Structure 1
Amino acid sequence: MENRIPPLRLAVVGHTNTGKTSLLRTLTRDANFGEVRNSPGTTRHVEGVRLKLAENALIELFDTPGMEDSMALLDYLGRLDTGEERIDEPQRIALFLQAPEANERFEQEARVLRQLLQSDAALYVVDVRDPVLAKHKDELRVLAQCGKPLLPVLNFVRSPDQRINEWRTALANLGLHASAEFDTVAPALNGEAQLYEKLALLVSAQYSEQLRVLSLDVEKQRQQRLQDAWRLLAELLIDVTAWRLISPSQKEFLEQNVKHLHETIRLREESCVKSLLRRFNFSTRDYLPDHIALEGCRWETDLFHPEVMKELGIQVGKGVAAGAMAGATFDLLTAGLSLGTGTLVGAAAGGLWQGVDKWGQRLLGKWRGESELTVDDSVIRVLALRQTALIEALAKRGHAAQTPIAIPRSQMALNHADAAVGAAINWRSGSLPDILQQARAFPEWSSMHPKYLSSLRRDQAVAAFAELLAGTATITTTTPAASPMTSATDIPATPSTTSESKPTIPPYYD
């Protein structure tokens, strides 16, 4: 899309410590923008970013300091009308900015007002947990004198201490009847779209179109992140289900190889978690629940422990509670095969080994006294529940959140119980999905297999399984009609897609 229209310039204004920088972090999906602390006056100067689509800058957002002495400033502005004729309010603000007080007593407020005069509109961030005080009203009266459209953004609306009705009444009394609810810590899935829709009502038509384009692109990106996340989970579950180890049947060797199986699966899930965090622009600092320590590569609550299965209400398989062998299933070499060991031996002795397929190799291993180790179904169910809960938490998390994600196992089981009603997959009991049962027969589908090679059949299975996972989730994943977006870089063997530029957020300084 060609865009010769200059970007919409938005000043983000408000009282100190209401979440202005947090709003910028969430809108840009950049957890490192600015500085966020639970103390007043954290932002001391103006910072900005651009939201771009392809090479076109659509919006410039400017983070401003908090206003600290609006009551005294309003009184000062009133004294500037000394002549017989009253001056226009924007002219009064410009007069104030030329006065010595703008560089001394009201330095912070002057920075805000100067940026607002240079902007096309402003987002006024409100912490709805705060009571409406006289200083807030005076602050709004001062900002209104700049003559720019002002959209109040009601932050922390999900807090039990919110006073949203009190704020709505106060804003209406000041002539601000349009506002947007946007919780910067846990925004609604369509929160950004609603914010841009409200803002479009206040600005000129040319900027309304830019906001509409940005809103559509934001939704496409959200859907693409979810699609990529379900694919990452599909990759994980197919990798783990298809993987198998061949081990001598003696107990000491079996125990040693089961430990190897455990550690390999732990590391594979850890890799999936990190990929999911990166796909949603988070880091390992954002996910520290009670059962995983990512950086240390160790787990506090074992993935293979029977108690984990019980807490999640998972039907325990035969291999889970076998002491040191927990989580592994043994001796599946002849399952579903009609070819007997005697036939295999005869074929090998007669020089016909080249005509015996992969099933023959498995039977030969059994003839040699080897066992095959695969991951028990119950472990796969735990992996599915844990990663589904993480995906849903990441999709609902704002980049201003300061508390790491923690998903108790009891809540994980409850969430899944709600999601499983009428769903195609019940991870707690019953048979595994057909695609995973099929993966059991193809060890080369696992990326952990030494002879792993990507194949069209495996890619098709991953794509179909990702679609199935998305269809059973509690998050809406219907993709709007649009060109496909670039897929996640963490996803191997992605089917062919066409690239489309996503919004980028390079730093911008006024």
Structure 2
Amino acid sequence: MAKPIALALVGHTNAGKTSLLRTLTRRSDFGEVSNRPGTTRQVEALGLRIDGRDALRFLDTPGLEDAPALLDYLQHLEAGLSRQQRLQAFLGGPAAKDEFEQEAKVLRCLLEVDAALLVIDARESPLPKFASEIEVLMLCARPLMPVLNFVSHPQAQEPAWRRLLAGHGLHAYVRFDAVAPFVGAEQHLYADLGALLPERREALSRVAEYLKNEALSRRAAGLRLLSELLLNLAAFRMQLAKASLANPVQRADSIRAFQSEVAERSRRLMEELLALHGFDPGSAEVADLPALAGRWESDLFNPEALKSAGKRLGAGAAIGGAIGLGLDVALAGLSLGVAASLGAALGGVASQGFGAMGRQLSNKLRGIVELSLENRALLLLAAQHLTLLLALERRGHAALEVLQVKPDLSFTEAQAARLQASLGVARAHPDWAGKAPLAGGEAARRHQQGVALSEVLAEILAGSNLPGTKGKA
């Protein structure tokens, strides 16, 4: 069995080494990430498992704190010593346990690995101390791949860093952002490492291919979860006696109960998407997401927001509301009922589709009204969760700020029509919204419809107008 490729993450204090490692391994619980200098004090190991075994072994090292002073110390050792002998003399001497203890930990680790990722905070100015750090690290004679971190930040000084690296013979480097990584950045990193480690190039290629396939599988799983929610909510309806609508209190309570159930099912999907992408529900960024869900919930039942969304999502400008009342049954051109309006919170065309005609007619004769989610609200939910899915794909596991997602995704008229057609099938099957297992034939029909809806959602993402989505996993 091949030995895992050992990679040390080295660099200045607070350069983002632990942040990068969290993102590369999709582990938001590894180590401690903060803006305080010197957070990592010991060498910590973490494996990247592929097919049940560690393919890579990362070693997160403490930050280099005083490389210029260490260089000066090394230069004052016995003149006849070679560079490697000076390094060994330092590591075996008292200074490695005293004023240069942190640097000694880094160098000992570097001597034991296949290569090192030199993590650089591109927001910093490339001061002389950083040049000293590179010189110290080069004493270990290990392949060194610079990783320019946080390059998306407006204060990043990438050209100046490239000049500093070139001055030390480091012309190859990787651009990265541990908070909001570029799509495919991991694959580029491992491909470039293959040039430094030709004997491990094949293994690194397998890692890159595995991660690419894993990203594709993650997206497919996310779309399946979203299609399940949309089918569930399209089929979902709440029955109430028509007479209760005349009572303002009962009417308001019914509307609130319906909205609460829709919001809860939407929130559960949000939590499932977070877990799918390796985000811990107990982490700081996830703990703040319910507030975001509250904003989405407000949008979902806000007539003005729905009117705007209807134009943007290809559903037309006309808008009733988020909830429809199943009072109308149109049969052979003969209307057997009239639409009911409950003001701004309710409305829409009841004949939009709430299941089989027979059930509606039966409910009407029994004085029963069904509350159901209108298509425009379902399209808005689809846009919101697709936007969240894309945001999670581009979110690093070192992010500390609250995730802010604005649903800017647009649907064409054709895409909206295809979505509504798929959802229309679910409206005729109210049992699809329940928690009880479906019978064999019905379960197969629901599964088939879920697959078809997932394919529509995937096509929408592939042609999305959001950055970084065209042709990407």
CA distance in 1, matches of 2:331, 2:153: 56
Q: Does 1:470 align with 2:464?
A: no
CA distance in 1, matches of 2:49, 2:26: 13
Q: Does 1:95 align with 2:93?
A: no
C-alpha change, 1:424 and 1:81, in structure 2 (3 Å) is farther
**Paired amino acid for 1:367:** L
Q: Which moved more, 1:109-118 or 1:280-289?
A: 280-289
CA distance in 1, matches of 2:192, 2:162: 15
CA distance in 2, matches of 1:446, 1:256: 21
**Paired amino acid for 2:212:** E
Measured after TM superposition, the shift of residue 335 of structure 1 is 4.3
**Residue ranges of structure 2 left out of the alignment (5+ in a row):** 337-354
Measured after TM superposition, the shift of residue 432 of structure 1 is 4.8
| SS of aligned partner of 2:431 | helix
Give the corresponding residue for 2:432.
445
1:294-333 pair list within 5 angstroms:
301=298, 303-312=300-309, 314=311, 315=316, 319-320=320-321, 327-332=322-327
Contact kept in structure 2, 1:317 and 1:378, CA below 8 Å? no
CA distance in 2, matches of 1:336, 1:214: 60
C-alpha change, 1:258 and 1:276, in structure 2 (3 Å) is same
Contact kept in structure 1, 2:289 and 2:402, CA below 8 Å? no
Give the corresponding residue for 1:177.
171
Give the corresponding residue for 1:51.
48
Contact kept in structure 1, 2:186 and 2:208, CA below 8 Å? yes
**Paired amino acid for 1:185:** V
| SS of aligned partner of 1:118 | coil
Counterpart among 258, 275, 280 of residue 278 in structure 1:
275
Give the corresponding residue for 2:415.
425
Higher helix share: 2
**Residue ranges of structure 1 left out of the alignment (5+ in a row):** 321-326, 342-356, 480-510
CA distance in 2, matches of 1:72, 1:60: 31
Counterpart among 416, 423, 429 of residue 436 in structure 1:
423
Deviations 1:101-148 (A, max 9, x none): 000010000000000011111000001111111110011001001000
- The structure whose RCO (Cα within 8 Å, separation 6+) is larger is 1
Give the corresponding residue for 2:102.
108
Counterpart among 408, 411, 416 of residue 409 in structure 2:
416
CA distance in 2, matches of 1:228, 1:241: 20
| SS of aligned partner of 1:259 | helix
Give the corresponding residue for 1:384.
382
1:58-69 pair list within 5 angstroms:
58-69=55-66
**Paired amino acid for 1:73:** L
Give the corresponding residue for 1:456.
444
**Aligned residue-pair number:** 437
Contact kept in structure 1, 2:310 and 2:376, CA below 8 Å? no
TM-score by length of 2: 0.86
Give the corresponding residue for 1:239.
232
Contact kept in structure 1, 2:63 and 2:102, CA below 8 Å? yes
CA distance in 1, matches of 2:364, 2:319: 21
**Paired amino acid for 1:329:** G
Give the corresponding residue for 1:12.
9
Measured after TM superposition, the shift of residue 212 of structure 1 is 0.7
**Paired amino acid for 2:371:** L
Contact kept in structure 2, 1:292 and 1:301, CA below 8 Å? no
Contact kept in structure 2, 1:223 and 1:477, CA below 8 Å? no
Deviations 1:196-236 (A, max 9, x none): 0111100142x111111111111111111111111111111
Measured after TM superposition, the shift of residue 151 of structure 1 is 0.3
1:342-357 pair list within 5 angstroms:
none
CA distance in 1, matches of 2:131, 2:107: 16
C-alpha change, 1:313 and 1:163, in structure 2 (3 Å) is farther
**Paired amino acid for 2:269:** C
Contact kept in structure 2, 1:471 and 1:477, CA below 8 Å? no
Q: Does 1:150 align with 2:121?
A: no
Give the corresponding residue for 2:208.
215
Contact kept in structure 1, 2:356 and 2:428, CA below 8 Å? no
Deviations 1:320-375 (A, max 9, x none): 1xxxxxx221135634679999xxxxxxxxxxxxxxx9754442222122222211
CA distance in 2, matches of 1:358, 1:467: 26
C-alpha change, 1:90 and 1:396, in structure 2 (3 Å) is same
CA distance in 1, matches of 2:37, 2:133: 16
| SS of aligned partner of 1:152 | strand
CA distance in 1, matches of 2:100, 2:378: 61
Give the corresponding residue for 2:365.
367
| SS of aligned partner of 2:159 | helix
C-alpha change, 1:302 and 1:182, in structure 2 (3 Å) is closer
Contact kept in structure 2, 1:227 and 1:477, CA below 8 Å? no
| SS of aligned partner of 1:6 | coil
Counterpart among 106, 124, 131 of residue 137 in structure 1:
131
Q: Does 1:402 align with 2:397?
A: no
Superposed CA RMSD in Å reads 2.7
Contact kept in structure 1, 2:218 and 2:276, CA below 8 Å? yes
Identity fraction in percent:
37
Deviations 1:265-321 (A, max 9, x none): 011111111111111111444357798366xx897735312132245454566541x
Contact kept in structure 2, 1:291 and 1:302, CA below 8 Å? no
C-alpha change, 1:459 and 1:131, in structure 2 (3 Å) is same
C-alpha change, 1:158 and 1:130, in structure 2 (3 Å) is same
Deviations 1:162-211 (A, max 9, x none): 11011011101101111111111111110000000111100142x11111
TM-score by length of 1: 0.80
CA distance in 2, matches of 1:256, 1:317: 27
Contact kept in structure 1, 2:49 and 2:56, CA below 8 Å? yes
